[in-house]
Amino acid sequence: MDFLISPLGWKNWLVLISVLINLSMVVFIFSRGIKKNKINLYFSLFTISTFLWGVSLLFGRTMIISQWQFWAYFAYIAALAIALFLFYFTLHFPYQIKALKTWQHLLVILPAIFLSSIIYVKDYFIVKAIQDIANTEYVLWHNKFFYILYSIYFLIMVLFSLHFLWIKYKNSDGILKRGLFWLFVTILLGLIFGTYFDLILCYFNNFHYIWVGQIFTLFINLAVFYLIFFTKEK
């Protein structure tokens, strides 16, 4: 693979391992069926999004041809999908507590579509990009207004997801209650560290630690995977 820098470095190897684990979970979920199971459907979409986010980070950091920018930019679209599908997954898992009306679905989906549509528009979201080939890193400069809008939407989606889980945690018992608690904690930690390393630091053009968020999303995926496919048997 002559478009990759060798060696990748331990950070990129961690991202690659995370990507491969996410991919294996996607394959397993699809083998169990998603057409008639909204929980499996939204978890598979969430896992695909984390897989694509990891691929985007990996290629953005390691490609030595011009396409590195495409992947570095695409990571923002994949991250939006992560927040969106996490919202819908927690809305339905392990049961649905509220049916959204059409206008509510639009309020959730349309901002994600709008923000995704401006990622590749010059000077709208990203105004400058450089790659540090020697250290397999890149730096992006953002339009601050749209970056703040992007961050607000992302945080709102994840906070709503935590809200749904907390309600279900309080109304559950036994193994499910413990599982929901640890899932809540995992997502909360992912939100705290992800906000710092992947939103706040990047706002100040510090992209040294963007790989950290991928590791936390892997922990979230593993927690959900266990809850869906192993607690049922108990």
* Cα distance between residue 26 and residue 107, in whole Å: 28
Confidence of residue 79 (pLDDT cuts 50, 70, 90): very high
Helix (H), strand (E) counts: the chain: 8, 2
Q: CA–CA separation, 156 vs 154, rounded Å?
A: 6
pLDDT higher than threshold 60 for residue 53 = yes
pLDDT at 6: 41
Q: Which residues contact 16 (CB under 8 A, 6 or more apart)?
A: 8, 54, 58
Q: Among 3.10.620, 1.10.3470, 3.30.1490, 1.20.1070, what is the CATH number of 10-233?
A: 1.20.1070
Residue with tokens 């570095």: 72
Residue 2 confidence (pLDDT): 41
How much of the chain is in helix, strand and coil states, percent to nearest 5? 75, 5, 20
In the chain, what are the domain boundaries? 10-233
Give the predicted TM-score (pTM) of the model. Answer: 0.90
For 89-129, write each residue's pLDDT tens digit: 999 998 888 889 999 999 999 999 999 999 999 889 999 99
Share of the chain above pLDDT 70, in %: 93
Is 50 exceeded by the pLDDT of residue 3?
A: no
Euclidean distance between CA atoms 17 and 215, whole angstroms: 9
Mean of the per-residue pLDDT values of the chain: 88
Cα–Cα dist 66/131, whole Å: 10
Asked if pLDDT for residue 234 goes beyond 70, the answer is no
